[in-house]
Structure 1
Amino acid sequence: MTSSWVPGPELAWQLHAECPDACILFQSVRDDAGTLLDFQATALNPAAVALVKGLAPGPSPGPSPGPSLSSWAGVLRGLPERSALGRVVDSGTPLSFEVHGRLDGAERWFRARVLGRGDGFSLWLSDITEVFAERHVLREELHKERTARAREEHLRLALETARMVTWEWSEARLTLLWSPNAEAFFGHPPGGLGDTLESFLERVLPGEWTRVAEAFLQGLCAEGPYTFQFRAPWPDGTLRCYELVGQTYRENGRPTRMLGVVMDCTERECSQAALREAEERYRLVSWATNDVLWDWNPSGEHIHWGEACRTVFGYAPEEMGGISWWEQQLHPDDRELVMRSLEHVLGSGGESWLAEYRFRRKDGTYVHVLDRGMVARDAQGRTARMLGSMMDITERKRAVERMQEEAQFRERFIGILGHDLRNPLNAIMLSARQLRRRETMPSVPQLAQRIDASAARMGNMISDILDLTRARLSGGIPLHLAPTSLPAVCRQVVEELTVAHPGRDILVEAEGRGEGIWDPERLAQVVSNLVGNALEHGEREGPVFVRCRDEGEQQVLEISNPGTPIPGHLLATLFDPFRQVGAARSGRGSGLGLGLFIVRELVEAHGGQVKVRSTEEEGTTFTVMLPRDARALARGDGGALAEEAHTG
């Protein structure tokens, strides 16, 4: 920065060369109409020259002050608006304010005075940085003092409201100081508590002296807040219960000070003791019955629920609502029948009620409950109260359903072993006998082909039955996860199926990389089953499309074919075992109706899901959605085996 614009000594007025304050003369800059546009600096005294040189120095200086007032506003923050300075020029009224800026790299504060001078003004700047700093410190100290007084007043009011006293123990003085209300708090006359720990212990119930003294010593060593209770007799013979809360402060690792409060908790302890006794009786009754107990006055809405609702339904007792809320938690299919039976008991003068229904838990699932109630009536026969219990019978219902399902499964399984597997086995045996008797017959190739096809069909049956058994009885189909390319798996399966189905078009389309952590053999089984299903049940001349694409954190596989859509009533059970939409044309596969069931089990074992859409216009499309990494999402024991196989 230069000061070449500073006028020389030829000015008509003399600036005070020896004055410590900086002075700059500014002249008004106006247009032809006399409108004030700006102010132009015309002269500086030596102190102002030094100020100009020192403003905003450094390697990356900001704007430097120049002749115009606007350039000074960039380095001296706090200058008035041009209009305010114009009023000083017009009226001659002086103006005072404070400004600040960086001088030689340090922040400095100045008291500024503006004095009118002709069609301009003189700006005097006095450095008040030290005064400003002292004033700032003083303001902070005053603020801290006011804050401390406010806190002390708040503490006093809080102690009076909460019926507490404060205490302080100091190692330097070895004294125990109490707040002024301590004697009245403990029922003693002024000075009755003393100022030592020993004098305080004398007021404690004699049988608790040792325990209270040890509690103080433990608090002295504690790292954070600590608390303990004690009892003390009053002069009138009554026994009061108190709770002490304290905090130990240290210097250089040594405890030097202890602070805390004491609260009178006598009434609270009495109430809690009575409440604990009543709750214990109620809890014992609830545990003995293992039911959710309930108590309802039919003239009102409220129901009192037992504690067991936490474990049975997932609700805290206070979260369980009244009779209307209970009605809304009933399964929609059970609600009408249950409410009708309850209303019948209440209206007919009955004394007992029994219902079995499904009740919604907090997590949204339903449990089967057996609800039993007894009706209490007044002398006029009106319902006064109804008490009962709800028993969770979900496991019992599931056990019965599992037994029925297993019985049906065993019957179907035995039927398969006794009938479906016997037919291809008989064909193999008969063909083999004919081959042994007539070795030179021209039909030997046909017989051999029949043996091969029947054996392959039996192999498919056995594989499907093994997968079915694993899925139903062994906790899931095991996986062997590894980095896999889904498009590569699809192309390999399609090549194999094209050989078995010459003349059929199977088109593979892939978008994205299609890579993930999956079981390649099981994915090949999924693709083979779905493509084979499309070949068997789609249009004979129609193409089959196999599409792979990335979709966020999922990989999507779509297999579609034109043809007659699957009937709507069959879609809900399409993935159930032993389900077949129609007869296969080629006899490929096991013929047991397990293909789609195994597809679903394998996809869900990977943590994914499979869906089907079938319409007259679009044909049938099976959509498989797989997570990118099946290790974290693989299901059940199969997922555990998969993770072990991958990491092993």
Structure 2
Amino acid sequence: MSSSWVPGPELAWQLHAECPDACILFLAVRDEAGALLDFQWTALNPAAEALVKGLCLGPSLSTWGGVLRGLPERSALGGVLATGTPLSFEVHGRLDGVARCYRARALRRGDGFSLWLSDITEVSEQRHALREELEKERAARAREEHLRLALETARMVTWEWSEARLTLHWSPNAEAFFGHPPGGLGDTMETFLERVLPGERTRVAEAFLQGLCAEGPYTFQFRAPWPDGTLRCYEVVGQSFRDEGRPTRMLGVVMDCTEREQSQAALREAEERFRLVSWATNDVVWDWNPAGEHIHWGESCRAVLGYASEEMGGISWWEQQLHPDDRDLVLRSLEHVLSSGGESWMAEYRFRRKDGTYVHVLDRGLVTRDAQGHTLRMIGSMMDITERKRAVERMQEEAQFRERFIGILGHDLRNPLNAIMLSARQLRRRGAISPMQQQLAQRIETSAARMGNMISDILDLTRARLSGGIPLHLSPTSLPAVCRQVVEELTVAHPGRDILVQAEGGGEGIWDPERLAQVVSNLVGNALEHGEREGPVFVRCRDDADRQLLEISNPGTPIPGHLLATLFDPFRQGGVTRSGRGSGLGLGLFIVRELVEAHGGQVTVRSTEEEGTTFTVVLPRDARVAAQGGGGVLPEEAHTG
């Protein structure tokens, strides 16, 4: 095939030797069926001939792909032949070792096409350089935007101070950062210092000068008021740059650390409060993450246990200090709280001190968990209760001793008292004694009876205070019958006094008849002692659904208001009595309250000038439940009644 080509007259002007563009004519290569296999060039103009030679291009277009980049697929060039539509593209290659770029255009010519190549290397390089500049500009704008967002998110601004210009340049978000309108910061150090809290301006100016002369980064803090009156805290970090040893500029950032300082101040305050509470309570405070071994111990360890806090170990060490007799129970209770989702734990056990002795401690802890219920932390305190346990043990021993002593005393006193009363009664029945002797015998018998009442009251006080309550012997009881019996006895002892009994309803229930008689006797006796001598005493019984009401009232001077709150306390008196009856110890109303509450009821009092004084007793219809809870004795007939 010829390497040069003489075209027809219509293309002569295109293939002139002086034409700068290369033109190559290609002819389609087909198989016997006419299918397109390849293209081969058939003619070149001078510019193309130099190009083909310089690029070492073969005669077949299919071989050009290894030399030129950007050649279209064979099917695309076949489309030029089929439709006649020109095809434009760019190809790249290396001519004489230098990268070149060509704009190519394929035009149909018979069963082939002409390929025009124009060298656009310089234009491509300029276009590539322009694209790089545009990319750099876009990247710079993106970095600026990222920096702006980062500064706003981190609540900080950048600044630069220039020695040559003596100016302070801020990042665009500085005014909003300091809460000032645009231009409010100025561009000098003086205008900036005007925004600083007045009392800190001198210190900030000195800190800036020190940072300018410092080697490496330098930091300081200051406070500045906002226009709304709030005070913000800022932290400055900067570094100076030097030229021949002389600082020429300084770059840095300012961070808003208000919330951080507030949090740190709150944390310091909480830690100080925690420390003071630990000292004030003398408790050993501890903090444990159940996922690990370590326990943080408070500062009271030395005072309570003899250890320094750093000598106290982790959870395994703590387990070893438990008393062997207490260890299993304590560990099981702790494991149960952690595994069952409990929120609090408490245990009382013996713990070994540094000197080897054991102290009794009350250990309490609170458990914090995440949303899934997993244990995150456990915080608690260990209290030394050794002295308290010893005091409780001493009190229990003393209480038992007092109970035994008073019981023995009451038992031993009753025998001589009974002898005195019987002797006095026999003397009165003898007719051979004088009236004076009769009066003396009566006085002896009355005094002995009063002493017997005192002993009974003391024994009841002992049972109420020291023995877990007064025992009851419950059985089916008629309250009106009990009231009538008591009133008959008191009428004999108080001749001339009116005691009226009124009953509404059956008044039946499960109670202790002897103890109810004691309640009625004490309340009626109290009314006789403190009420008007000529006034009657009313005893009323009435049903009220599942309850029974008992009211004992009398006219007379009301009980002073300041005495009502303590009227049922032991050893209290409601006022001055007019006779010698009663124990004289102030235990009567106290015993009344204890007996009523032992039945599961309650007693109240109201006292006014118009209505006089009324004691109201409310009893449940069946006192067995209350008696069982309080240790009362239920005879067999009470269950069947």
TM-score by length of 1: 0.44
Q: If you compute each CA radius of gyration, which structure gives the higher value, 1 or 2?
A: 2
TM-score by length of 2: 0.44
